[in-house]
Amino acid sequence: MGGLFLLFTFATTNLTSGCFEHERAALLRFKHNLSDPSGRLSSWNGNNCCNWQGVDCNNATGYVTRLDLGTDSSDENPIPEFIGSLTKLRYLNLSSMGFSGIVPHSIGNLSNLRVLDLSNMELVVDEFSWFSSLLSLKSLDLSGAERC
Ligand SMILES: *[C@@H]1O[C@H](CO)[C@@H](O)[C@H](O)[C@H]1NC(C)=O
Ligand SMILES: *[C@@H]1O[C@H](CO)[C@@H](O)[C@H](O)[C@H]1NC(C)=O
Ligand SMILES: *[C@@H]1O[C@H](CO)[C@@H](O)[C@H](O)[C@H]1NC(C)=O
Ligand SMILES: *[C@@H]1O[C@H](CO)[C@@H](O)[C@H](O)[C@H]1NC(C)=O
């Protein structure tokens, strides 16, 4: 239902720049799964997800290339799998966001990723094979994560 509604609002809006609907939907699902005590994600509404705080898009392609949520959330949920659908991400920083559990393998889909910061969280890396597809990676911070 929610998906249908989003699709509808997208279809009736004349977007001239940035923000693909599937990426916007993924970000909204992501927001839905976060507790947001500081209201940092209060700008996450409206059609142009490229204007949302912590989200940057490539001006030419319109894809989300940077997701920087900084610190100060008290979430204890796993990092949602659908983060892997933001395929053009180059920078992903969820440091200290309070996620816990297994690092989703779908992050291996983010083949454009250059910077991945998942530090200071109680994460578990259950296997490393999916890292091998992160060919563009220049900086990886998993400090705080456990290997199991
Ligand atoms: C993208 O466009 C915005 C607004 O027009 C501008 O502020 C920003 O510098 C541009 N970014 C790049 C990488 O060109
Ligand atoms: C990620 O965000 C945190 C908090 O804002 C910052 O301290 C850290 O330097 C960032 N990491 C990277 C790799 O940019
Ligand atoms: C999203 O949050 C709900 C509870 O708020 C939880 O049951 C669900 O497992 C979470 N999903 C993901 C993918 O983290
Ligand atoms: C992302 O990766 C998962 C698991 O690694 C895979 O099953 C899935 O098909 C991939 N999804 C996309 C959109 O590439």
pLDDT tens column, 21-74:
999 999 998 888 777 777 778 899 999 999 999 999 998 899 999 998 866 666
Mean of the per-residue pLDDT values for the chain? 83
Closest residue by Cα to atom 5, ligand 3, is 33
Cβ neighbors of 21 (< 8 A, separation 6 or more) are 6, 7, 10
**pLDDT at residue 113 in the model:** 95
> Rounded to a whole number, what is the distance in angstroms from the first to the last CA of the chain?
38
**Which atom of ligand 4 lies at the shortest distance from residue 105's CA?**
5
Closest CA to 102 of 142, 132, 54: 142
pLDDT digits (tens, 9 = 90+) for 85-111: 999 999 999 998 888 899 999 999 999
Instruction: Sort strands 100-102 and 139-141 into parallel, antiparallel or unpaired.
Output: unpaired
Taking the CA of 71 as reference, the closest ligand is 2
Q: What pLDDT, in 10s, does the model give residues 129-144?
A: 888 888 889 999 999 9
Helix (H), strand (E) at residue 7: helix 2-11
CATH of domain 2-147: 3.80.10.10
Ligand 4 atom closest to 106 (CA): 2
Confidence (pTM): 0.75
Distance in angstroms (rounded) separating the CA atoms of residues 86 and 27 = 9
pLDDT band at 8 (very low <50, low <70, confident <90, very high): very low
Query: Where would I find the beta strands (DSSP E) of the chain?
Result: 55-57, 64-68, 91-93, 100-102, 115-117, 122-125, 139-141, 146-147
Q: How far is the CA of 30 from the centre of ligand 3 (A)?
A: 9
Tokens for 96? 């200290």
Domain ranges of the chain: 2-147
State residue 75's pLDDT score: 66
Residue 133: its pLDDT value, please? 85
